[in-house]
Amino acid sequence: MTVERSTLVLNQNYEPLNVCSVRRAFVLVHCGKADLLEDGEERIRGVDRQFQLPSVIRLRRYVRRPQPRLRLTRREVFARDHQQCQYCGRSGQDLTLDHVEPRHRGGPHEWENVVAACRRCNHRKAGLSPKEAGMPLLTEPVRPRATPGSMFGHYIQRYREWQPFLLGWLDSRSRSQLSAESAS
């Protein structure tokens, strides 16, 4: 079975829930817990027949789940801060994470205390608060909401067949970014 492929799992109301392995999706479909909505291009051989690999499945029962929360990672912080330094506004690849209230002063490692900063600004600020360093923040850091766009948007380029199932759930920013990428 192909390991690299993933399957989009939709709730009974077509809300994107999760991305799982093709193997897990195959078992859900063939045990009657999910319906196959879109199959992939590849097939697997059984003893006496071939099966399409599922690309998008929909659960037959509605699954209640808590509101998902984004994990605090470099990639997510840079995405929240639009790939720009929160002190000088410079964009680029040379970004680091900076704790607004330094960790050695008891600042927590939480969304509200972590921002993207270029190396120059991070070095200049050192172990000081923004006020002490004379470096005000361009925007206050906040915990981002976990939207289908932030959770599943990066899969759309690889799995084009997922687009019809995700587009309605994406926020306007993710949708416009997707259409710009498709145009180029």
Q: Per-residue pLDDT averaged across 47-69, rounded?
A: 91
Assess whether pLDDT exceeds 70 at residue 184.
no
Better-predicted residue by pLDDT, 2 or 25: 25
Percent with pLDDT over 90 in the chain = 58
Residues 14 and 50 in one domain: yes
The parent domain of residue 21 ranges over 6-66+147-183
Q: Per-residue pLDDT averaged across 105-123, rounded?
A: 96
Number of domains in the chain: 2
Residues 78 and 129 in one domain: yes
Q: Per-residue pLDDT averaged across 139-144, rounded?
A: 94
Residues 78 and 169 in one domain: no
Binned at pLDDT 50, 70 and 90, residue 16 comes out as very high
DSSP labels for the chain?
--SS-EEEEE-TTS-EEEEEEHHHHHHHHHTTSEEEEEEEEEEEE-SS-EEEEEEEEEESS----PPP-----HHHHHHHTTTB-TTT--BSS-EEEEESS-GGGT--SSGGGEEEEEHHHHHHHTTS-HHHHT---SS---PPP--HHHHHGGGTTT-GGGHHHHGGGS-HHHHHHHHHHHH-
Q: Which CATH number covers residue 82?
A: 1.10.30.50
Q: Per-residue pLDDT averaged across 84-95, rounded?
A: 92
Residues 169 and 151 in one domain: yes
Domain assignment present for residue 1? The answer is: no
Residues 61 and 101 in one domain: no
Domain assignment present for residue 129? The answer is: yes
Residue 1 confidence (pLDDT): 47
